[in-house]
Amino acid sequence: MKVVIFSTCVVDMMFPNVGKAMVEVLERFGCETFMPMQQICCGQPTYNSGYVKSTKHVMHNEVDALLSVDADYVVGPAGSCVNMLKELPAHLKGEPAYQAKAQAIADKTYEFSQFVYRVLGIENAGAELDAVATYHRSCHMTRLLGESTSPFALLDHVKGLTMVPLPHIENCCGFGGMFSMKEPEISRQMVDEKVNDVISTNASVLISCDPACLMNIGGRCNRRGESITIMHLAEVLNHDVDISRVTYVDAQESKGVLI
How high is the pLDDT of residue 179? 84
Is residue 251 in a domain?
A: no
Is residue 256 in a domain?
A: no
What percentage of residues in the chain have a pLDDT greater than 90?
Answer: 88
Is residue 233 in a domain?
A: yes
Give yes or no: residues 27 and 132 share one domain. Answer: no
**Per-residue model confidence as pLDDT tens digits over 178-232:** 788 888 899 999 999 999 999 999 999 999 999 999 999 999 999 999 999 999 9
Residue in 173, 178, 171 with CA at minimum distance from that of residue 220: 173
Give yes or no: residues 167 and 128 share one domain. Answer: yes
Parallel/antiparallel/unpaired status of strands 247-248 and 122-124 = antiparallel
φ, ψ at 129 (rounded to 5°)? -145, 110
| Cβ pair 166, 189 in contact under 8 A | no
Give yes or no: residues 212 and 105 share one domain. Answer: no
Give yes or no: residues 7 and 95 share one domain. Answer: yes
How high is the pLDDT of residue 62? 97
Residue 129 DSSP SS3:
strand
Q: Where on the phi/psi map is residue 87: left (φ > 0), alpha (ψ -120 to 50), or beta?
A: alpha
- Compute the distance between CA of residue 206 and CA of residue 219 in angstroms, rounded to an integer: 12
Domain final residue pick, 117, 132, 150: 117
Give yes or no: residues 162 and 205 share one domain. Answer: yes
Residue in 77, 78, 80 with CA at minimum distance from that of residue 48: 80
How high is the pLDDT of residue 256? 46
Give yes or no: residues 62 and 30 share one domain. Answer: yes
Domain final residue pick, 117, 149, 172: 117
Per-residue pLDDT band for 130 (boundaries 50, 70, 90) equals very high
Give yes or no: residues 142 and 237 share one domain. Answer: yes
**Domain with 145 in it:** 124-244
Classify the C-alpha dihedral 113-116-118-121 as positive or negative: negative
For residue 47, what is the domain's CATH number? 3.40.50
Give yes or no: residues 113 and 128 share one domain. Answer: no
Give yes or no: residues 130 and 228 share one domain. Answer: yes
Is residue 255 in a domain?
A: no
For residue 163, what is the domain's CATH number? 3.40.50.11810
Give yes or no: residues 109 and 16 share one domain. Answer: yes
pLDDT, the chain, mean: 94
pLDDT at 92 over 60: yes
Reported pTM: 0.93
Domain final residue pick, 117, 149, 165: 117
Domain tally, the chain: 2
Give yes or no: residues 109 and 22 share one domain. Answer: yes
Give yes or no: residues 129 and 111 share one domain. Answer: no
pLDDT at 151 over 50: yes
Is residue 214 in a domain?
A: yes
Cβ-defined contacts of 22-30 (< 8 Å, 24+):
22/75, 22/77, 22/112, 22/234, 24/238, 25/116, 25/125, 25/234, 25/237, 25/238, 26/75, 26/115, 26/116, 28/241, 28/243, 29/116, 29/120, 29/122, 30/1
Is residue 250 in a domain?
A: no
